[in-house]
Structure 1
Amino acid sequence: MTTTAVITLAAVLVIVLGVSVLTRPRHSSTVDFYLAGQRVGVITNSWAISGDYLSAASFLGVAAAVYVSGLDGAWYAVGFAAGFVPVLLLVAAPLRRYGEFSLADFLGRRLGSDAVRISSVGVVQLVILCYLVPQSVGGGITWELLVGHGIFGLSPYSTGVLLSTAVIAVVVAFGGMRGTTWNQAVQFLLLFSALIWLAVVLTADGFRYGDAVEQLSQQPLTNPELVDSGDQQSWQLVEETNFIQPEEPAVFGEPGARYGHLGQVALVVTLGLGTAGLPHVMNRYFTSPTGRAARSTTVWVLVLIGAFYALAVMMGTAARDIIPAAAQEHPWLRELTVDGVLRVPEHALPVLGRIYGDEAGLGLVAAAALIAAMSTVAGLLLASAATWGHDVYERHINPRATQRQAVWAGRLTTLVAAALAAGLAIALRPDAYTPAMPSLVATMVTWAFAVAGSALTPVIVLAIWWRGTTAPGALAGMLTGACLAVTMFLTAGMMQPSALRELMAAPTLLAAPAAVLVTVLISRKTRPPASVDAAWVIMHGTAADRQAERLATLTVEERRRRRAR
């Protein structure tokens, strides 16, 4: 471990813990712990949502996917960025106006059903776990490259997983939403600054994106693969298959190196629809003071993440262009590459940082990668706490719980969820990716988007925009989408590369319409909740309508009090 690495890691931990201490909630109320008192401003919340959303899959995974498969890897950036368009148009403002603690709470109250609430809790936890594990994997990968050795007899990878997950679990457990919000805002600014620094030094050194793509496309795209050679396995460069034109070699600047036409569409749809069902992102909208603030926040988020993903695609291309020549000059880089191509594609950004900034550059980029993983882990753990602590413990296990008891229940669940994710992450290895998986981290996150977009997003959108949505319909649609998504991407893992496999690996294109169809068919045969008109006014009525509704409610309550006297 170098002195620079020690200083970098210490600085990151000091910033994270310092922000948590300064912004920790002063009261033990659930509104403060889960929603930061619903007083988070537009700019702060946009930074926090960006920090929450721009995970290790974004910082390490998108650049890695582009590095491995060129243009096909850029579809991850397109899908991730496009996800906030349906959030802006369909979800953000009505969701905040209705006002709850979590997605499960929103669906349970809107549809008047505890069965919907509990089922939503199960689906939300599945999404959180699918998203949480790759963040811990990203932390382990970064520690392994930055530090290179473990503690207490653990491997470097396992050490990184445990330390990054443990630190942020403690931060969330005691900082709540207020501390997490400010942490994520600061972490986003640090993360974005690292990417901008890389872009500036690369451009100053003469890198031009268009020229690099043209040059890389002059030869077939190859990647390292373990190949049996007699009695042992060895790393060799293998040409990628062109899934659109099998008679032609796959090249960096043209589609087909990873997906066919159907696979590209399926991936973008899965990522685009999944965003509106991500609990750690959508829960942040409940912290906005108004529906208008929630919509304005989303506009800012679109601008920020659009710029981020453009830079991530640029960095993945730069790594592919620059690292082969750099491997001839730097002995340390030869250990990570096969004929100039990285064995672990998630190393692309940290390696660029070391090439251009030596140990300090590596420390900066690696710290940003840890920040990306930790920031998203914080949001996921807080979403898990809100789901278990509020939706299950407060409502079903101990309805008479005090505010203090409810907060401690949420804190306990953050630690349990963190331990489970760390254990699963240690069971995986960063070199487990195959030619069908351009980046282990990005691929695993796709599973979370698939479940969210197939099970939660269709039901959330219908509950917001269709009066006829009923609890039995929503329950059947949600379970249909979740079961289809899980079955399809698990089946895809056992299939050979093909158009059908691409569709199965990104299942929302089929699973989401199926969930909508089932929800509509069963809802038409059942009765919507009696409160649907009042809910509609809250979500979609004008300010005057909502004010009249509140006055009417207050009038009815006052009459009841007088009669009771």
Structure 2
Amino acid sequence: MTTTAIVTLAAVLLIVLGVSVITRPRNTSTVDFYLAGQRVGIVTNSWAICGDYLSAASFLGVAAAVYVSGLDGAWYAVGFAAGFLPVLLLVAAPLRRFGEFSLADFLGRRLNSDRVRISSVAMVQLVILCYLVPQSVGGGITWDLLVGHGVFGLSPYTTGVLLSTAVIAVIVAFGGMRGTTWNQAVQFLLLFLALVWLAIVVTSEGFRYGDAVEALSQGPLANPEGSALVQETNYIQPEQTAVFGEPGARYGRLGQIALVVTLGLGTAGLPHVMNRYFTSPTGRAARTTTVWVLVLVGMFYALAVMLGTAARDIIPGAVADHPWLEELTVNGILRVPEHALPVLGRIYGDEAGLGLVAAAALIAAMSTVAGLLLASAATWGHDVYERHINPRATQRQAVWAGRLTTLIAAAAAAALAIALSPEAFTPAMPSLVATMVTWAFAVAGSALTPVVVLAIWWRRTTAAGGIAGMLTGGALAVAMFLGASFMEPSALRELFAAPTLLAAPVAFVVIIVVSLKTQAPDSADASWVLMHGTAADRQAERLAALTVKDRRRRRAR
């Protein structure tokens, strides 16, 4: 462990802990703990959403996917960035206008059903679990590379998992949404600045993206397999070898479409991202926030794709001048693709550069874990504890229930990440972390996105239809990507590995068919006005409701 690594890591931890202390909630209400009082500004919230969304899969995984499979790896960047288009056009403003604590709460109230709320809680927890594990794995991998030593006899990987998860659990448990919001905003800025710094140094040394892609495409694309390089299969034109700058190195035509659809639809069903929209003061602010997010994530992923290409182009020629690269490479190609950006940082910035990039990767994982833990706390603490276990809970009791469930979720995530060590997933391609996160997007896009979109835009959506669609889409997605692991490479396997292209339409159809055969909730019209009516309509609706309540009170007297 170098002095630089210690200083870098200590600085990162001091920053995030300091922000938590400064911005901790002064009140103990659930609105303050879960929603930051619904007073988060547009710019701050857009940075926080980016910090929540741009996980280890984005920082490490996208560059790694491009490094391994060239153009096919860029589909991850396209899918991740495109995911906010459906959010902008279909979800953000109506979701905020309706106003709740979580996705499960929104669906339960919109469809007027506790069964829907409980089913949503189960599906949300499944998505969170699928997302938490790769983030914790990313934290362990980064600690291993940054520090290289464990504590108390633990391995470096295990130490990284436990330390990163513990720090974030404390931040979330005692900082709530307000502290987490500011932490994620600061963490996004640090993450983005690390990418900008890398982009500046590689281009100042003569790297040009177009020239690099052309040069890398002159020969076949090969990657390490054991102690040798093996040429990648071309899944579009099997008679030819795969090349860096052409599609087919990882996916066939169907697989590319399936991956982008899975990632694009999954965003609208991610609980830790969608919950952030409830913190905006108005529906218009939620929509404007999404526009900012689209711009920021577009810039981020463009840099990630460029730097993944830069790593592939630069690292082979750097081995002669940097002997330490020999242990990490096979004939100049990295054994672990997720090391692409940290290695670039060390090449151009020595230990300080490695410390900066590796610390950025660590806070990427920590920032997303924070959002996931807060979403988990909201579903268990608010949707289950307050509504079903102890409906008469005081605000203080409800907040402490959220804090306790945060710590429990963090412990479970750390245990799973340690049990599912990276060695168990070594064959995963093109990137371990990005591949694992795809599972979360698949479940979210297949189970939650269809019912959220229809609940917002179709008045006839019913509780029975919502439950049937969630269960069908979720079960089909899980069955398909589990089945893909037992299949030989083929177009069908590519579809099963990114199942939302099939599972989401099936879920939509099931929701519509079942809803047409069952009774819509009596509150459907009022909910529609609340989500879509003009400002005057919504004001009139509120006045009417207040009038009715006032009459009932007078009669009661």
CA distance in 1, matches of 2:396, 2:428: 48
Indicate the residue corresponding to 2:178 in structure 1.
Answer: 178
Deviation readout 1:46-89 (Å, 9 max, x if unpaired): 00000000000000000000000000000000000000000000
Indicate the residue corresponding to 2:392 in structure 1.
Answer: 400
Deviation readout 1:441-487 (Å, 9 max, x if unpaired): 00010000000000000000000000100000010000000000000
CA distance in 1, matches of 2:425, 2:24: 39
Indicate the residue corresponding to 1:423 in structure 2.
Answer: 415
- Count of matched residue pairs: 557
Aligned counterparts, 1:340-355, within 5 A: 340-355=332-347
CA distance in 2, matches of 1:68, 1:551: 59
Question: Is 1:81 aligned to 2:81, yes or no?
Answer: yes
Aligned counterparts, 1:52-63, within 5 A: 52-63=52-63
TM-superposed CA distance for 1:328, in Å, is: 1.9
Deviation readout 1:18-49 (Å, 9 max, x if unpaired): 00000000011100000000000000000000
Runs (5+) with no aligned partner, structure 1: 227-234
CA distance in 2, matches of 1:430, 1:214: 33
Please tell me the residue identity of whatever aligns with 2:169: A
Indicate the residue corresponding to 1:237 in structure 2.
Answer: 229
Aligned counterparts, 1:117-196, within 5 A: 117-196=117-196
Indicate the residue corresponding to 2:109 in structure 1.
Answer: 109
Indicate the residue corresponding to 1:223 in structure 2.
Answer: 223
Question: Is 1:383 aligned to 2:375, yes or no?
Answer: yes
TM-superposed CA distance for 1:236, in Å, is: 1.3
- 1:220 counterpart SS class: coil
CA distance in 1, matches of 2:168, 2:325: 31
Please tell me the residue identity of whatever aligns with 1:343: R
Output the TM-score relative to the length of structure 2. 0.99
Is the deviation greater in 440-449 or in 409-418? Answer: 409-418
Partners of 2:428 and 2:435 within 8 A in 1? no
CA distance in 1, matches of 2:389, 2:224: 52
CA RMSD, 1 decimal: 0.8
- 2:230 counterpart SS class: strand
CA distance in 1, matches of 2:344, 2:424: 23
TM-superposed CA distance for 1:163, in Å, is: 0.6
- 1:519 counterpart SS class: helix
CA distance in 2, matches of 1:254, 1:433: 27
- 1:150 counterpart SS class: coil
Partners of 2:2 and 2:147 within 8 A in 1? yes
Please tell me the residue identity of whatever aligns with 2:333: V
Partners of 2:443 and 2:477 within 8 A in 1? yes
Output the TM-score relative to the length of structure 1. 0.98
CA distance in 2, matches of 1:142, 1:198: 17
TM-superposed CA distance for 1:258, in Å, is: 0.2
Partners of 1:28 and 1:404 within 8 A in 2? yes
Runs (5+) with no aligned partner, structure 2: none
TM-superposed CA distance for 1:330, in Å, is: 1.0
CA distance in 2, matches of 1:221, 1:209: 17
- 1:462 counterpart SS class: helix
TM-superposed CA distance for 1:428, in Å, is: 2.7
Deviation readout 1:339-360 (Å, 9 max, x if unpaired): 1111110000000000000000
Indicate the residue corresponding to 1:207 in structure 2.
Answer: 207
Distance 1:306 1:45, change over 3 A: same
- 1:70 counterpart SS class: helix
Indicate the residue corresponding to 2:71 in structure 1.
Answer: 71
Please tell me the residue identity of whatever aligns with 1:468: R
Please tell me the residue identity of whatever aligns with 1:394: E
Indicate the residue corresponding to 1:42 in structure 2.
Answer: 42
Indicate the residue corresponding to 2:435 in structure 1.
Answer: 443
TM-superposed CA distance for 1:433, in Å, is: 4.4
TM-superposed CA distance for 1:331, in Å, is: 1.3
Partners of 1:35 and 1:284 within 8 A in 2? yes
TM-superposed CA distance for 1:435, in Å, is: 5.6
TM-superposed CA distance for 1:104, in Å, is: 0.2
- 1:238 counterpart SS class: strand
Partners of 1:64 and 1:346 within 8 A in 2? yes
Please tell me the residue identity of whatever aligns with 1:16: V
Partners of 2:223 and 2:232 within 8 A in 1? yes
Indicate the residue corresponding to 1:359 in structure 2.
Answer: 351
